Homo-oligomer: A and B are copies of this chain.
Amino acid sequence: MEGGVTAAKGFEAAAAAAGIKYQDRTDMALIYSEKPCRAAGTFTTNVVKAAPVKWDRQVVESGHRPQAVIVNSGIANACTGEEGMRYCEETAKEAANALGIEKKAVLVGSTGVIGMQLPMERIKEGIRSLAAAKTSGLSGGTAAAEAIMTTDTRKKEAAVTVEIGDTVVTIGGMAKGSGMIHPNMCTMLAFITTDAKISRKALQAALSEDVQDTYNMISVDGDTSTNDTVLLLANGEAGNPKIKYGTWEYEAFKAGLHAVNETLAKAIAGDGEGATALFEAKVVNADTKEQAKTLAKSIVCSNLTKAAIAGHDANWGRILCAMGYSGAQFDPEKVDLYFESSAGRLKIIENGVALPYSEEQATEILSQPEVTAVADIKEGDVEASAWGCDLTHGYIDINADYRS
């Protein structure tokens, strides 16, 4: 369904142009819930954690009931020491005043350049604009999704409905990605809202379990960010009977959450810095999930494979090579490999050795905007996918001089 963070009942959003780094676009976003929310979060495993990551983790783990998220793009508030932590608190305080809520009910998020301090006067002005502009329509959510972009070329929104008993529950979200994308616990920034009534334990469990198969299975450049954050807010306004961990309703909620997370994760991978294609690696007939995931992720992380995808070149040797150094065991001489896309499906190798395939057909298949490599390792019946993108001149252009 259409929509993003304002798709679920009782959520509002807004964007503002605070002039933090960009001069000609919005760069701050607000997500607001009429009612206090249960909150769940997953955060970067990077030893270097940005100030907002530390702030949010405190709020989520303390069991406070957040009602607002303030996000800025342009500056990451990472490697900013004590001063950076103080700015999180000032941001929360300003938002609390403007919205008439508690300071501890405000979550914060930042993305952009590492090591610069936030211009706090502009941030505070931005917060006041956001509070005045918040709206429950889908347009508010879209404006927020646009404001959190950095080198992203497309906004990333997703929403679904799930029936919990007789009640329709909505889950919606937005995300940003593009560079420094190799999530380990969760991705750059994703904000999911739901009107489901759900226990805090079930909410955190659903998120923690699902990021393993979604955000943690994408990679743009192998660089795990200092700011990776996924926040999930539930305000209970759908009026469903409370969802408890381990129940059938929990599984239904998790399936809906998975649809939103997978859509956003794939959108981040396909819009990686400089990317011209979403590249999926799918490992089938594996013995264990862990093995399938390790192999799939190694393929989408390989610079050589990604450069070959950019050149629409069926360089399958690089894929087998990447599987080989992944750390997972398998028998290379049992592997079948296929390329597939909207232009068809082609078997390239059988039992580890090349078939006499048509290079023209392979190039045609690999020239589509979404390309999949399927590796059949013939050991069991488990499968897993990972998502990445091609490696192009655009990535170099963006990153050889990102700060200026």
Contacts and interface: CB of A to CB of B under 8 A. Distances in A.
Interface of A: 45-49, 76, 78-81, 113-116, 179-180, 182, 184, 221-226, 301-304, 307-308, 310-311, 313, 315-318, 320-326, 328-330, 332-333, 349, 351-354, 391-393, 395-396, 398-404
A163 to B, nearest CB: 40
B325 A46 contact: yes
A386 to B, nearest CB: 15
Contacts of A392: 396, 400
Shortest 6 CB-CB contacts between residues of A and residues of B: A114-B317, A311-B400, A48-B324, A307-B399, A224-B325, A46-B324
Contacts of A400: 307-308, 310-311, 313, 392
Contacts of A184: 325
A352 B222 contact: no
A182 B114 CA distance: 27
A383 B400 CA distance: 28
Copies of this protein, total: 2
A403 B222 contact: no
A328 B46 CA distance: 10
Nearest to A301: B222
18 contacts: A47-B328, A47-B330, A47-B332, A48-B323, A48-B324, A81-B353, A179-B304, A180-B304, A180-B321, A222-B303, A223-B302, A223-B303, A223-B318, A223-B322, A304-B399, A310-B396, A311-B401, A396-B396
A303 B221 contact: yes
Contacts of A114: 315-318, 320-321
A317 B79 CA distance: 7
A313 B332 CA distance: 41
A395 B325 CA distance: 21
